[in-house]
Amino acid sequence: MSIEEATVSDLIEMDKNYLDRIHLRRRIMKKHTDTVLAAEDSVKSAVDEFYCWLLGTFLPTRFPRMFVLQHTDNKEGFLYNLVTDERLSLSPAEKPLESLERMGGLVEDDFLFLLPSDDGDGYALKGFVTCFPNGFNTFKKLNLKLRDIHKPVPQYKEKLEKSMDRYFARLPTGKFVRRANWAISTTDALFTPSGNHLYEGEEIPQVEIDISSTRVRCERQMLHRLPQTRALLFSFKTLTYTLPEIKDEGLGKVLAEAIEGLKEGNAPEFHFYKRAAVWRESVKNFLTS
């Protein structure tokens, strides 16, 4: 599963893109509400639990120069955001969808909440805010079990399904794990609910590659269990790099080798899934020139 242990402090990272990204996220949530936000009634207590902890404890403790707690005379609590000069109530909204929207416009990370599935067999997606989906429409994954969410992922069934189901069932509270992935995106858009993957039976499209808008797109993914509701929270922050940035860092050769490696290894189908046939030549030529 290529996961490693992390700590609670790793849950959210801040960088210089914060303000631009949260404004972009708010625009995406307005324009594409049905694709990026959803909540079943059953997820309310998990969303509320995380909301209270994120605003009331995590953010003001972890990033005290960005977020401070405020209380009015009648004891109502707020999180004051020093970057945006805004206040958010420490109490979650009546509807979980609204709490998700508030959190989606507060931090750059996307959040997916999983609860034991209705038939008791594995975990299912019950609520989310995902402004930056890399090639999937999260709404189409709502209520699906982990294994059905990953149906298009090569070798998932053969190589990952069993260990993932076991791992998700056993993950204790207090443990934080992380995983990173990488992809090449031929667009600089962050809201990409389609087009970044190829699925079985699909034809390889003929696309003119523009290197200036091509990005190395990575997700810094985290998984942990909420202590009270015991829901699982999968979250990820999307990071993008231009190809000149990769070259300037001296990583051009490493990336070119990783691209070649997609065809080899134990799941060569990833070459197709990641659309490598579309961008491989142009990207490799640029990286090695």
From the list 62, 87, 89, 85, the residue with the least C-alpha distance to 75 is: 89
Whether residue 287 contacts residue 246, with contact meaning beta carbons closer than 8 Å, is answered with yes
Shortest separation between residue 42's beta carbon and ligand HEM, angstroms? 15
- Under rule CB under 6 A, residue 225 binds ligand HEM: no
* Interface with ligand HEM in residues 227-256 (CB under 6 A): 234
Q: Environment class of residue 64 by beta-carbon count within 10 Å: exposed (0-12), middle (13-18) or buried (19+)?
A: exposed
The rounded distance, in Å, linking the Cα atoms of 56 and 92 is 11
Residues in the chain, total: 289
Cα gap 238→141, rounded to integer Å = 19
Q: Is 126 a residue that touches ligand HEM (CB under 6 A)?
A: no
DSSP state of 182: E
Which tokens go with 281?
A: 């030549």
CB of 86 to ligand HEM, least distance (A): 29
CA distance 195 to 24: 20
| Shortest Cβ 205–ligand HEM spacing (Å) | 16
User: Would you count residue 141 as binding ligand HEM (CB under 6 A)?
Assistant: yes
Among 11, 22, 38, 112, binds ligand HEM (CB under 6 A): 112
- Contact with ligand HEM (CB under 6 A) among 114, 231, 255, 259: 114
179 binds ligand HEM (CB under 6 A): yes
Is 258 a residue that touches ligand HEM (CB under 6 A)? Answer: no
Near ligand HEM by CB under 6 A: residue from 70, 76, 121, 152: 152
The binder of ligand HEM chosen from 153, 184, 255, 256 (CB under 6 A): 153
* Cβ 81 to ligand HEM shortest distance, Å: 27
Return all residues near 127 (Cβ < 8 A) that are at least 6 apart.
38, 39, 40, 43, 46, 47, 96, 97, 100, 112, 113
Q: Is 149 in the site for ligand HEM (CB under 6 A)?
A: yes
CB-wise, 192 or 214, nearer to ligand HEM? Answer: 192
Spatial distance between the Cα atoms of 64 and 252, rounded to a whole number of angstroms:
37
Q: Which residues bind ligand HEM (CB under 6 A)?
A: 1, 3, 112, 114, 125, 135-136, 141, 149-150, 152-153, 164, 179, 181, 197, 223, 234
